[in-house]
Amino acid sequence: MDREKQIEIWLKQAEHDLEMAVKNYGMGGYDVCAFLCQQAVEKFLKALYLKEKQKDFPRTHFIDELGLALGLPADIMDLVYELTADYLESRYPDVTIGAPFENYNVHNTQKKLEAAQKICAFIKENLALSKETE
């Protein structure tokens, strides 16, 4: 599969994950929302990596590593750091205190959703800019 098609597929799934995060937030699935926020950002970052680096991205779920490899600005990295742990903490009882879903609520999850939306908007803007300069 060519790189442009790969990027398109990663972006399509990232958009879907973000949409599902919003829906889960709306129905009180805060842990699922947090996980999907992390997943959406991960997929947007992997699409950006494919575009900017013109090579395969590292096999990782640590979005902070991807963000650093891409040289994201500090304000965006601050948002990335807020979501990095949710890959594990939103799902696994052995990496958190109590059941993971009990650690998420409307307030902390709203911040995560807003962070994901800002990161994804930043990446989409950068992908559009890189497309214009081709």
CATH number for the domain running over 3-132: 1.20.120.330
0.75 exceeded by pTM: yes
Domain ranges for the chain, please list them: 3-132
Confidence of residue 134 (pLDDT cuts 50, 70, 90): low
- Residue-averaged pLDDT of the chain: 91
User: DSSP states of the chain as a string?
Assistant: --HHHHHHHHHHHHHHHHHHHHHHHHTT-HHHHHHHHHHHHHHHHHHHHHHHHSSPPPS---HHHHHHHHT--HHHHHHHHHHHTHHHHTT-GGGSSS-GGGG--HHHHHHHHHHHHHHHHHHHHHHHHHHHT-
pLDDT tens for each residue of 39-72: 999 999 999 999 987 777 878 888 999 999 999 9
Average pLDDT over residues 16-38: 97
